Structure 1
Amino acid sequence: MTYQIALNFEDGVTRIIDCGEDELVMDAAFRQKINIPMDCRDGVCGTCKCHCEKGDYELDFYLDEAMTEEEAEEKYVLTCQMTPQSDCVLSVPVSSAVCKTGAETVKGEVIAVDALSATSFGLRVKLAKPIPFLPGQYVNIDVPGTGRHRSYSFSSAPGSDEASFLIRNLPGGVMSTWLGETAKPGDAVELTGPMGAFYLRPIERPQAWLAGGTGLAPFLAMLEKVAADGTDHPIRLFYAVTRAADLVELERLRALAEKIESLTLVTILAAEDEAHERKGFVTDHLEPDDFNGGDADVYLCGPPPMVEAVRSHMAALGVAPASFHFEKFNPTETPAVAA
């Protein structure tokens, strides 16, 4: 049996490698031309120590000087002594360049550009080969003819040779101009990644997911993963936009909700002149119960003011969630910031 091991480097690059059930993770990485730092290969030096964020594994011999018992209990591992028993996610405490690797560039071809609303496009791309990624991560997409690129989260499930993206229509923006005026099926594009620290962790408690506008994209990829894997934990997805016309992908969300019985979708409109069950900002509709007394994971993808408003709102409620993962995207098309 072969497992997938996601190596998340300090510079935000992720590389996903194949590792046999009887193969050491370090050997698998070397086989795929990724040089995880090491000095001994014998569990003695601790140079190859990483943190396992997800997955099951076995560890062979190591000295306390290389890794303490407390670190082992916190799921630190020595990759030279680690054999996987499931797919795993490892945080590697160095940059991808140190490991003589980097983000991979994959060629693609436009399948379709859909004007989903006045404020958003849907882009579908046929990939020369699948891009392995963690649900929630992004790639850089080169904008043909400009010498520039923009960063977008996958809205599609991992593992497919087709990728989809939900892209804000920013008037005058490099990507928006290309999508609205020039792009057509068959156009060649290049995608580089995956990257980003905003991705779905193991679901072990109730979830509160907050999407602002096209910040819905990574949650669509996450939901595809949950629909495939299943969960009994409740997921409340708050989807906040300005106007009703900006509520895109609702049909897909409802189809996913039929597969995920624990999923609740909450939509919110900011425009005062439109009729809707919930009006205002997402913070107007977040109560302490939505955070399960703090025993909840919070994921948020939206513009910086939304991230800061939610952070302040949780503090005002006296809520400290078990984990808080966020990604800010900026209208100036600068790269997103994730945590």
Structure 2
Amino acid sequence: MAYTIALNFEDGVSRFIECNENEKVLDAAYRQQVNLPMDCSDGVCGTCKCHCESGRYDLGDEYLEEALSEQEFEDGQVLTCQMIPNSDCVISVPLSSQMCKTGSETYTAQVVRAESLSDSAIELNLELTSHLGVPFLSGQYVNIQLPNSQDTRAYSFSSMPGEKTLSFLIRNVPNGRMSQYLTTQAKPGDVLNLTGPQGSFYLREVTRPILMLAGGTGLAPFLSMLHQLQGSELKHQVHLIYGVSRDVDTVKLAQLEAFAAQIPQFSFSVCVTDPASSAELKGYVTDHIEPGQINDGEVDIYLCGPPPMVEAVITFLKSKSITPRNFYYEKFAPQVSKETA
């Protein structure tokens, strides 16, 4: 049996390696040309110390406390030279990927479809031609290179990790180069280069209630997370508040309803800021966060949206003196071409 180990580096790059049964993470990484930090490899120096964010493992008892203290052990610190996984794991490496002589993977894919879901959102579907799938953590993003250009744009996956077919929910930016390509030029069979995955915004192990806050096409990473949650036995409530500016900006409602039907602990609500909206909930996302969803701070909050929305949620939490157990957020800003910016 082999386990998948996600190595998240300080520069945002993620690499995925396979660790065989009874194999130490450090050995598995070197076997796959990822040079994790090390010196003694005997649990003596602590040079290979990393943080395990999720997963089960065994460190044995042959390392010295000078290399890993009891408190560090309790906090999830690990010595990769001693760590033997018993499940898939996510490990944060306190170095850049370049220092470990590795980097992002590059993939090629063909356009299957580029569809305008509204005048503000485009769905891009790609099929990989160079690999069987892209390993990533639900919520992460990839850089997509514009055809006949060195320019790239970063987009979060909205599809399930590891699949050959990829999907992205992309904001239609006026005068944006990628938006113009997707709406006026893209055709099935076009070849695009992808580099990644990257990002520290991804779904962690669900150990308490989760509140997801999405603004516009910031819905994309949550769709990927919900794909992952479909196959798990949730013991905690997961609620998504999806905010848009106008009624016509709402997309993927049928998919959200399907998720709600398939995931017993999941629910969602939609709010629209336009006062003339026909939506039941009007206003901003922060207007519709209920006390029960905050759970007296015993909650993990995931937030993805434009910078003003992110700042508004941070201000809201401070004004209510709410400190969630974990608060993960990602803000995105549109990129327009230099000629029109």
TM range (shorter): over 0.9
**SS of match in other structure, 1:34:** coil
Cα deviation for residue 257 of structure 1 reads 1.1
Match of 2:98 in 1: 97
Moved more, 134-143 or 239-248: 239-248
Contact 2:146 2:192 in 1 (8 A): yes
CA-to-partner distance for each residue in 1:13-57, whole Å, 9 max, x for gaps?
Answer: 000111012111011101110000100110011000000000000
- 1:52-105 per-residue CA deviation (whole Å, 9 max, x = no partner) reads 000000013100111111101111110000100000000000000010000011
Deviation string, structure 1 residues 133-177 (Cα, Å, up to 9, x no partner)? 000000000010232110000000001011100000001001101
Find the counterpart in structure 2 of residue 337 from structure 1: none
Q: Which residue matches 1:62?
A: 63
User: Cα distance 1:210–1:119, how it changes in 2: closer, same or farther (>3 A)?
Assistant: same
What SS does structure 1 have at the residue aligned with 2:15? strand
Q: Distance in 2 between matches of 1:225 and 1:319?
A: 28
| More moved, 142-151 vs 167-176 | 142-151
Per the normalisation by structure 2, the TM-score is: 0.96
Establish whether residue 244 from structure 1 lines up as the match of residue 242 from structure 2.
no
Q: Structure 2: 5+ residue runs without aligned partners? A: none
Aligned to 1:44: 44
User: Is residue 11 from structure 1 mapped to residue 11 from structure 2 by the alignment?
Assistant: yes
What is the aligned counterpart of 1:298 among 294, 298, 301? 301
- Counterpart code for 2:127: K
In 2, distance between residues paired with 1:31 and 1:333? Answer: 42
| Cα drift, residue 316 of structure 1 | 1.2
Counterpart in the other structure of 1:86: 87
CA distance in 2, matches of 1:230, 1:299: 20
Q: Give the aligned residue type for 1:247.
A: T
**Offset, 1:10:** 0.3
Give the letter aligned to residue 96 of structure 1: S
Q: Percent identity?
A: 53
2:235 to 226, 232, 250: 232
- What is the aligned partner in structure 2 of residue 323 from structure 1? 326
Matches within 5 A, 1:273-292: 273-292=276-295
1:16 & 1:333 partners in 2: Cα distance? 32
Report the CA distance between 1:333 and its aligned residue: 6.0
Question: Does residue 126 of structure 1 match 2:91?
Answer: no
Q: Distance in 2 between matches of 1:33 and 1:24?
A: 15
Gaps of 5+ in 1: 335-339
Number of residue-to-residue matches in the alignment: 334
Q: Tell me whether 111-120 or 325-334 shows the greater mean CA deviation.
A: 325-334
Q: Which runs of 4+ in 1 moved over 6 A?
A: none
**Equivalent residue of 1:216, what SS?**
helix
Query: Scaled by the length of structure 1, what TM-score is found?
Result: 0.97
